[in-house]
């Protein structure tokens, strides 16, 4: 990694008042959570149509729940890495610092981030298919598959956003609003493929924000980025932090 680029990134952050961050599966890769589209990504092993759509859940809720049970077991064993930790720390350093994540793994929360918008939900939350009530549940493995709502007995589903489902309009509105106001947008570990999340950095760029991207591989967003830091988030973010001198 070019140390001039790290210094440039640190300078851009130092001079910014409002910072927004968008993260994707790549930020959790160094914790041991598989991404979706990489070489060892989940969509290489499993078909999204069978596991991450409302139709799949209607067809075979047990199969979908078995997959989520397996993923909860996996995510439950891992810890946040230096990338999550640096972002959690920056929230306490920069006056206006907002984190928008596509991840459902809860690792940002575990690292201590508080001001966070979870665009695609959270794997540790369950939602009643009848009453839509959301409850937190960290049992792993879950006792009964599919789990049932203790209040009404109907089936519970993972509180995540599947393909073809709308994102929570309040969360999405807040995310676009943050992007329209930020001076710098940092985009970490996303293939920038899934909409509407992938539009957020372009929206910020159109509104005048500088875009900094961290990813080992270029993405459709890279040509729009003011600075592309090619490499792993868990290595690059602590380096920027060193230059910022917030330690």
Site string for ligand BJW, 154-193 (x = CB under 6 A): ------xxxxxxx---------------------xxxx-x
Which residue number, 38 or 112, has a Cβ lying nearer to ligand BJW?
38
Does position 80 bind ligand BJW by CB under 6 A?
A: no
User: Within a 10 A sphere around the Cβ of 123, how many other Cβ atoms?
Assistant: 20
* Using rule CB under 6 A, residue 102 touches ligand BJW: yes
Tell the burial category of 51 from Cβ atoms under 10 Å away from its Cβ (0-12, 13-18, 19+): buried
Q: Which of residues 119-158 bind ligand BJW (CB under 6 A)?
A: 120
Any contact of residue 86 with ligand BJW (CB under 6 A)? no
Nearer residue to ligand BJW within complex by CB, 10 or 26: 26
DSSP collapsed to 3 states, 21-52: EEECCHHHHCCCCCCCCCCCCHHHHCCHHHHC
Q: Which residues contact 200 (CB under 8 A, 6 or more apart)?
A: 22, 100, 175, 176, 179, 185
64 binds ligand BJW (CB under 6 A): no
Residue choice 132, 195, 223, 245 for contact with ligand BJW (CB under 6 A)? 195
Residues 6+ apart with CB under 8 A from 115: 91, 97, 98, 99
Catalytic residue, from 120, 138, 159, 173: name it: 120
Note whether 216 binds ligand BJW by CB under 6 A.
yes
Is 108 in the active site?
Answer: no
What DSSP character marks residue 164?
T
**Residues designated catalytic:** 120
């Amino acid at each position: 990694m070019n140390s001039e680029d790290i210094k440039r990134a640190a300078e851009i952050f130092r001079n910014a008042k409002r910072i927004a961050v968008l993260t994707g599966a790549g930020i959790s890769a160094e914790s041991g959570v598989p991404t979706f589209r990489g070489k060892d990504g989940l969509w290489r092993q499993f078909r999204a149509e069978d596991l991450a759509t409302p139709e799949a859940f209607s067809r075979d809720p047990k199969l979908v729940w078995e997959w989520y049970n397996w993923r909860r077991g996996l995510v439950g064993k891992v810890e946040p890495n230096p990338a999550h930790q640096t972002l959690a720390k920056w929230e306490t350093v920069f006056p206006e610092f907002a984190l928008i994540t596509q991840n459902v793994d809860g690792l940002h929360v575990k690292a201590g981030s508080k001001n966070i918008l979870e665009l695609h939900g959270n794997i540790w939350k369950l939602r009643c298919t009848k009453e839509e009530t959301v409850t937190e549940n960290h049992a792993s493995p879950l006792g009964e598959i599919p789990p049932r709502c203790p209040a009404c007995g109907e089936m519970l589903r993972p509180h995540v956003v599947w393909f073809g489902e709308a994102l929570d309009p309040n969360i999405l509105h807040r995310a676009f609003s943050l992007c329209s106001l930020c001076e710098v947008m940092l985009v970490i570990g996303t293939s920038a493929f899934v909409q509407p999340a992938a539009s957020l950095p372009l929206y910020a760029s159109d509104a005048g924000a500088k875009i900094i991207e961290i990813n080992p591989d270029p993405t459709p967003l890279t040509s729009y980025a003011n600075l592309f830091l090619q490499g792993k988030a868990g290595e690059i973010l602590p380096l920027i932090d060193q230059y910022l001198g917030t330690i």
